[in-house]
Amino acid sequence: MFEIERWQEIFETLRKNKLRTILTGISVASGIFILIILLGFSSGIQNGVEEQFSDDAKNEISIRTGRTTKSYKGLNPNRYIQLKNEDFADVNQDYDNYLEYRSANYSIWGSQVVYKNEVGNFSVRGVHPDFQFIEASNIVEGRFINQSDIEEARKIIVIGTKVKSEMFKNQNPIGEVVSVFGINFTIVGVYSDPGGAREEDNVYVPISSAQIAFNGSDNIRGMSFTVPMLGSFNKTLEVSNALTESIEAQIKQKYMVSPEDRSAVRIGNTLERAKKIYGLSQILSLVFWFVGLGTIVAGVVGVGNIMIIIVKERTKEIGIRKALGAEPFSIVSMILQEAIFVTMFSGLFGLIVGLGLLEIVGPTIENDFIKYPQVDFNTALYTVIILVVAGALAGFVPAYRAAKIKPIVALRDE
Amino acid sequence: MIEIKDLHKSYRMGSNSLHVLKGINFSVKEGELVSIMGSSGSGKSTLLNILGMLDEADEGSYVLDGVPIKNLNEKIAARYRNKFLGFIFQSFNLINYKTALDNVAMPLYYQGLKRKERVEKAEYYLEKVGLAPWSHHLPNELSGGQKQRVAVARALASDPKVLLADEPTGALDSVTSHEVMDLIQGINDEGKTILIVTHEQDIAQMTKRIVNLKDGVIIDDSPVEQVRAKQYV
């Protein structure tokens, strides 16, 4: 198989039959090239779709409270359930191992924010530093709230890009002072949200500052947590559902709320929603795999077809070689080695060109539904190997049959 | 060199079988130049194919240079062909994408010789048939006579015991026919055993012995006064 003499013979044959070699090569290379592009865009669309739905963390659990609607244990309905700092601390502590990001919030909806002559109406939300990750916000300028802001109850504020564009135009807002209900806050950062403008008209302040500034004492409006993504989606969903139930039960018990009361303690779990998105991208990837497999099958059939034609075309040559003393095995291996060499070489060529194109064109694509088209190099390499092996198998049958032809029959073939 | 006893061969054609060779007894000594003649259907090509191990007899024995040729599998047949026999065909059967030199070197490749040795030997035999200047030409750049001379050089390259020629001049005009026959006679003069199948009387006259085949049996086997091709060249 690896004798130099045989390879010399093969290279010579390939060199002397340039047209055949090039045509075979082009068909294999283009097949692989198309497959790579296809797989690339499949992952691109998947990335795009996932990003479309990634405005909030996918694994968020949020807790809000309201008024009771049912009497329970002798208590009247229409009682307001007020969460406190300690409730947040309790949940934080009790479920420490299962939670990733945590934040309580104390918000004033629709507050007047004043900067010099500009007045805007935005929601002021007092939050913890982790809130940035729960909302999946990106910091574009400056920084978000940090732990020492909370501890020292600093009068600082982080504004959304929408707020910035409405109130500051092109001016740099960092370090500027805005007033909310007459209290001055210094801007330390600007964030953007993948969810778009509707998620960017909030302004964030440290929760401790909000409680002090807006007479909140130790009240909180709600809290949000995220569950870390575990190995599989279903496992994460299971943990998150168990957490949701357990936290809900704990709070209801503490405030003596009927377990059936749905409006006094409201707990939401975004993972259930994310499940649908995951389902969609799973179907998408299934579709692309199906198309990809189809392409490979077509490629294998193509290679097999080429092999049959090559063998047919070379019948006479095979007869001559056999009359001159070629053993059947040497005929089979000659044809197969040639085929494997050509498919391997051109397959890798198609692979590199395809990957190169994705690498160059990928980042320039500006479309909401296609993002970062990429192909895992190993997947691509396996594809080439599958194509080569399957092509060789498809080529083996005609090669074997050719080796079986009696030389007189082959030589008679004019 | 060649010993054939009571050779039978029939071909199955659908339901009826065609008895082509009906008991051939025939022997060739080393250094002979024999022509096998007969009209088409007489079985002369079948006989040559059996001698060339391209086909196998149904019955009878065939001994080549002391080696009994029977129950050959493809692999051994290939090895024997390579070692014992050199073929010359009517239609030359050169590999058209290989140069004259590479065509001649082909049987040496299957003998397992190294490239350098192959080229050396092939050059020697091309020289011998007078085609050294054309060694790097492709078959389609050569005339018919030149092609057949390349084929002769190829048949000689593996230094076989016997040369088998199937209508070697069938595709050539009379001048080039004589050139090729002159070459074959020269090789025979050096002691090589050669069998030629032909239907041309004048070509047969240039050998030393004519075997006449009719309907699968030898009807005549007699030595002839050899006509040298040289005088026509």
**Better-scored residue on pLDDT, A358 or B120:** B120
Q: Please report which residue ranges of A192-327 form alpha helices under DSSP H.
A: 207-213, 233-254, 271-313, 315-323
Q: Does B107 touch chain A (CB under 8 A)?
A: yes
Instruction: Name the domain boundary from A271, A297, A314.
Output: A271
Instruction: Name the domain boundary from A218, A238, A271.
Output: A271
Query: In chain A, which residues touch B (CB < 8 A)?
Result: 5, 8-9, 12-13, 16-17, 316-317, 319-330, 403-404, 406-408, 411, 414
**Better-scored residue on pLDDT, B56 or B33:** B33
- Which ipTM was obtained for this model? 0.90
A69-117 pLDDT, tens digit per residue, is 888 888 888 888 888 999 999 988 888 888 888 999 998 887 888 888 8
pLDDT above 60 for B227: yes
Q: What is the dihedral of CA A193, A199, A204, A210, to 10 degrees?
A: -160
CA distance A14 to chain B (A): 10
> What mean pLDDT comes out for the span A12-37?
83
Please give the pLDDT value at position A1: 47
Quick check: B78 and A5 CB within 8 A? no
A301 lies in the same domain as A264: no
Taking CB atoms and an 8 Å cut-off, how many pairs form between chains A and B?
69
d(CA A413, CA B94): 14
The single-letter DSSP state of residue B141 is G
d(CA B149, CA B184): 9
pLDDT above 80 for B50: yes
B134-170 pLDDT, tens digit per residue, is 999 999 999 998 999 999 999 999 899 999 998 899 8
Q: Which chain B positions have a beta carbon within 8 Å of A325's beta carbon?
A: 78-79, 81-83, 107, 110-111, 158
A297 lies in the same domain as A218: no
A210 lies in the same domain as A291: no
Please give the pLDDT value at position A54: 57
> What mean pLDDT comes out for the span A112-132?
88
Q: Which chain B positions have a beta carbon within 8 Å of A14's beta carbon?
A: none
A332 lies in the same domain as A242: no
A155 lies in the same domain as A256: yes
Confidence grade of residue B103 (pLDDT, cut at 50, 70, 90): very high
First to last CA, chain A: 31
Please give the pLDDT value at position A2: 55
Range in A230-234, A339-343, B207-211 with the lowest mean pLDDT:
A230-234
A238 lies in the same domain as A94: yes
| Helix/strand/coil for A256 | coil
- Cβ distance B82 to B158 under 8 Å? yes
Please give the pLDDT value at position A410: 75
Give burial (CB, 10 Å; 0-12/13-18/19+) of A372: middle
> What mean pLDDT comes out for the span A132-145?
87
CA-to-CA separations, B231 to B34, B179, B227, in angstroms, rounded: 20, 10, 9
Please tell me the pTM assigned to this model.
0.65
The set of residues, in sequence order, having a beta carbon less than 8 Å from that of B46 and lying 6+ positions away, is: B9, B20, B21, B55
> What mean pLDDT comes out for the span A56-72?
81
The set of residues, in sequence order, having a beta carbon less than 8 Å from that of A245 and lying 6+ positions away, is: none
pLDDT above 70 for B7: yes
The single-letter DSSP state of residue B230 is G
SS3 assignment for A68-92 = CCCCECCECCCCECCEEHHHHHHHH
Quick check: B87 and A323 CB within 8 A? yes
A162 lies in the same domain as A262: yes
Range of A200's domain?
Answer: 60-271
> What mean pLDDT comes out for the span A265-276?
78
Please give the pLDDT value at position A53: 61
CA distance A393 to chain B (A): 23
The pLDDT mean for chain B works out to: 90
Burial profile B174-211: b = 16 or more Cβ within 10 angstroms, e = fewer: eebbbbbbbbbbebbeeebbbbbbbbbeebbebbbbbb
pLDDT above 80 for B187: yes
CA-to-CA separations, A319 to A337, A413, B138, B157, in angstroms, rounded: 19, 9, 19, 18
Q: Does domain B2-232 have CATH number 3.40.50.300?
A: yes
CA distance A11 to chain B (A): 12
pLDDT above 80 for A363: no
A131 lies in the same domain as A267: yes
Q: Structural domain tally of chain A?
A: 2
d(CA A76, CA A264): 12
pLDDT above 80 for A272: no
Confidence grade of residue A56 (pLDDT, cut at 50, 70, 90): low
Q: State the DSSP H helix or E strand holding residue A158, giving kind and residue range, or none if neither.
A: strand A156-160
Q: How many CB atoms lie within 10 A of CB B52?
A: 22
CA distance A27 to chain B (A): 23
Please give the pLDDT value at position A362: 76
Please give the pLDDT value at position B197: 92
Token pair for residue B41? 């259907």
> What mean pLDDT comes out for the span A346-362?
87
Quick check: B82 and A321 CB within 8 A? no
Cα-Cα-Cα-Cα dihedral sign, residues A124, A127, A129, A135: negative
Please give the pLDDT value at position A74: 83
Confidence grade of residue B208 (pLDDT, cut at 50, 70, 90): very high
Cα-Cα-Cα-Cα dihedral sign, residues B67, B69, B73, B74: positive
Please give the pLDDT value at position B148: 92
Q: Does B141 touch chain A (CB under 8 A)?
A: no
- Picking from A329, A406, A411, the nearest residue to B93 by CB comes out as A411
Chain A residue at shortest CA distance from B98: A16
A91 lies in the same domain as A128: yes
**Better-scored residue on pLDDT, A191 or A274:** A191
CA distance A412 to chain B (A): 10
The single-letter DSSP state of residue B202 is H
> What mean pLDDT comes out for the span A196-216?
84
A93 lies in the same domain as A231: yes
Q: Which chain B positions have a beta carbon within 8 Å of A17's beta carbon?
A: 97
Range in A55-59, A237-241, A394-398, B51-55 with the lowest mean pLDDT:
A55-59
At position B99, the amino acid (one-letter code) is T
- Cβ distance B84 to A323 under 8 Å? no
Please give the pLDDT value at position A68: 87
A259 lies in the same domain as A115: yes
**Better-scored residue on pLDDT, B35 or B231:** B35
A261 lies in the same domain as A406: no
| Helix/strand/coil for A226 | strand
- Unique residue bearing structure tokens 């339901």: B15
> What mean pLDDT comes out for the span A120-128?
89
d(CA A279, CA A291): 18
pLDDT above 70 for A57: no
In chain A, the percentage of residues whose pLDDT exceeds 70 is 94
The pLDDT mean for chain A works out to: 83
Instruction: Name the domain boundary from A255, A271, A287.
Output: A271
